[in-house]
Amino acid sequence: MPVDHYENFPVASLLLPPALREPVAAIYAFARNADDFSDEGDLLPAERLTALSRYSAELDAIERDEPSSDPVFIRLRQTIRQYRLPLPPFRNLLDAFVQDVSKARYASHEELIDYCRRSANPVGQLMLHLFSQATPANLKLSDSICTALQLINHWQDVAIDWKKGDQGRLYLPQDELARFGVTEQQIDVGICDEHWRALMAFQVDRARALMLEGAPLGRLLPGRVGLEIRAIVASGLRILDKIETVDYDVFRQRPILSALEWPRILIKAL
């Protein structure tokens, strides 16, 4: 699973049991479309919110057992019914996407983590329900992995996110920017100095610690499901390593996983 775009989803991964690939793809279609409504293309904010509101209404229809004509929700309804998936994670995802339309700055790390709680953690929660492994302990470990993946994607995509919207989107907490002496003007022109490197080293270390905190989940889950989780963890940690390798200059070189790196990641997961 690449740490890229809707990076927290193992999209019909070959590592997953074949029976789970269709339900995973159905959930992904919902999440991918809703995420695109929030920040892709040339839609006006009001149009984005209207599209997300329609998706919310479709979830309400599923809850009331009312029919849908939308192919995404016809497919999703079957998955929700078959696996008895809870609706709150879907609603939390929509809530985070709505927030993306109107919120472009985060005052503190705590505020950012609250966003990750709704934008990333529901993915892992739904996966655990699909696997029939949604115990409180497993859910806690999954939340750590998903939040870490979200943070990793934010740090590799600082330059990309900055170009989104009228004012640019910035997930680096405002109080930590001030603490490390980094300004938005510096980000706008892509200056990678000692202040920026110190800030990013701090963010990378914190994301790595959170990922390692959740990593035991990959050993607790059985078979190919556990292997999938271990591959996700390894890929996220590898992205952090690559951010360090480019000396935190994500303005000029976005750290990504190459095709040649995946065999090494899979071997490590095994």
Q: What confidence tens digit (pLDDT) does each residue in 203-215 have? A: 999 999 999 999 9
- Cβ-proximal residues to 23 (8 Å cutoff; 6+ apart), any chain: 79, 82, 83, 130
With 70 as the cut, is the pLDDT of residue 232 above it?
A: yes
Distance (Å, whole) CA 101 – CA 131: 32
| Digit-coded pLDDT (tens) for 67-85 | 899 999 999 999 999 999 9
Contact 94, 49 (CB under 8 A): no
104-270: what CATH class? Answer: mainly alpha
- Rounded mean pLDDT of the chain? 90
Rounded average pLDDT over 235-240: 94
| Digit-coded pLDDT (tens) for 118-156 | 999 999 999 999 999 999 999 999 999 999 999 999 999
pLDDT of residue 227: 87
pLDDT of residue 165: 66
pLDDT of residue 15: 67
Q: CATH 1.10.600.10 occupies which residues in the chain?
A: 104-270
pTM: 0.90
pLDDT of residue 168: 85
Quick one: what percent of the chain has pLDDT higher than 70?
94
